[in-house]
Amino acid sequence: MAKNVVNKNLIFLIIIIFVLIVTSITLVIYLQTDPIKEVLETDQILKTLIVLESDENNNGELHNQKSVLFTGVLMYYPVSRRVAMFDIPGNTGSIYSSLGDDGRVDRIDAVYLENGIESYQKEIEKILGTSIPFYLIMNLSDFSQLTDLLGGLRVFISSPIDTVVDGVHYLLPSGAVNLDGDKVCTYLKYSIPEETTAELQERRQMAILSFLIAINKNSSLMFNKKNFSYFEKYFQTSLNKDGLYRLLSELSVIDAERLVPQTITGALRNVDGKPLL
C-alpha cells in the first residue's frame, strides 16, 4: 500500500515538473521580442554603429594593442531605402566622461580602446544626439575573409599606388578595380605623406560603402539559411544569430549607390601633444 502511494506521488511530481518545463519554454518563446522589428516600429530609422578594428601593425605583424581603422554610423530609412552614413574620425576630441573618474580630453577612439564598445557607443550617441541601438564590429582579418566570401570589393583608385612607407611596399592599380581580401587590407592600411587625414578617412568610407554594395549583390548567397553560418562568425555584435540575420537582411536592401557619406568636421588643435579634431 505504501509503495503504491510513493509511486503515485512520484508520477504526480513528474507531471508537475513536466508542466513547469513546458510552461517556461512557452513563456520564453512568447515573450521573445524581435529587437529590429521593435526599433523599426517605434523609431522607423534603423541606426547601427560599425567599427572596423585592427590588431596588426603596418608590417602585418600582430600586436597586443588594437587600433580603430574606421567608425561609422548607418541611419537607414526602410520606406525609401535611403541611408546616411556618418563617419566618426578617431581623432575627434572632447571631454569624455567615460575616461577616468572626472573624464578627460582625448581622442574618441581612446574610449573604445580603453573601455570597449558599450562606452564608445554611448559617447558617439552624445555626439550625434541620437540613440544607436545596434553595433557591428569587424576585425581587419575578418573583414578580409568576408571580402573574399563576397567575391571582392569594387573601389575606384584615382592614381596607381606604388610606394614604400616604413619599409612596407604598397602596390595597387588605378581605375575601378575589384580587390580581394588581401588587397582590401592594403587599401585600408596604406598611408602616404601627400595624403591628408580627410582623404584617408574618405578612402575607408568608400571601402565600407563597397562592402554594403557587395552584401546587396550577394544577398541570395549570404542570406541562404545554410550559408549564413559561414558569414555570421566574422561579426561581433550584441545581437543573437537571428537578430544579426535580420539586421544584415535589412541593410542588404539599402540603396547604397545613392549614399553620400558624411563626416564630423572641425579644426585641428594640439592638446597635450595630440592633434585633436
Tens digits of residue pLDDT in 169-216: 878 888 888 999 999 998 998 877 777 777 888 888 889 989 988 998
* Selected residue with higher pLDDT from 262 and 43: 262
Burial group, residue 244, by CB count within 10 angstroms (0-12, 13-18, 19+): buried
- pLDDT given for residue 22 in this prediction: 66
Contact by Cβ (8 Å): 53, 109: no
Which residues neighbour 56 within 8 Å (Cβ) at sequence distance 6 or greater? 62, 63, 140, 141, 189
Contact by Cβ (8 Å): 11, 77: no
* Selected residue with higher pLDDT from 43 and 224: 224
* Selected residue with higher pLDDT from 200 and 33: 200
Nearest-angstrom CA–CA distance, 52 and 212: 14
Q: Which of 72, 101, 90 is nearest to 205 (CA)?
A: 72
Q: Are strands 134-139 and 46-56 parallel, antiparallel or unpaired?
A: parallel
Burial group, residue 163, by CB count within 10 angstroms (0-12, 13-18, 19+): middle
Going by pLDDT thresholds of 50, 70 and 90, the confidence category of residue 1 is low
Residue 238, classed as helix, strand or coil, is: coil
Specify which of 38-52, 208-222, 247-261 reaches the highest per-range mean pLDDT. 208-222
In this structure, the number of other CB atoms found within 10 A of the CB of residue 43 comes to 12
Q: What share of the chain is helix, strand, coil (3-state, %, to 5)?
A: 45, 25, 30
Q: Tell me the per-residue pLDDT of 57-74, one tens digit each, with 9 for 90 and over.
A: 554 555 556 889 999 999
- The structure's pTM equals 0.82
Residue 93, classed as helix, strand or coil, is: strand
Is pLDDT above 60 for 32?
Answer: no
Bridge partners (DSSP) listed for residue 67: 54
At 37, list the grid cell.
522589428
Sheet with strand 134-139: strands edge to edge: 134-139, 46-56, 62-77, 82-87, 262-263
The CA-atom distances, in angstroms, between 54 and each of 185, 188, 226 are 10, 10, 29
* Selected residue with higher pLDDT from 78 and 144: 144
Least confidently predicted of 2-11, 75-84, 195-204, 265-274: 2-11
- pLDDT given for residue 31 in this prediction: 42
Nearest-angstrom CA–CA distance, 72 and 186: 20
- pLDDT given for residue 67 in this prediction: 87
Least confidently predicted of 137-141, 171-175, 178-182, 267-271: 267-271
- pLDDT given for residue 30 in this prediction: 40
Nearest-angstrom CA–CA distance, 165 and 268: 24
Q: Averaged over 5-17, what is the pLDDT?
A: 66
Nearest-angstrom CA–CA distance, 274 and 277: 10
Length of the chain: 277
**For the chain, what percent of residues have pLDDT higher than 70?**
86
Q: Averaged over 163-174, what is the pLDDT?
A: 79
At 49, list the grid cell.
554603429
Is pLDDT above 70 for 7?
Answer: no
Nearest-angstrom CA–CA distance, 277 and 271: 10
- pLDDT given for residue 154 in this prediction: 93
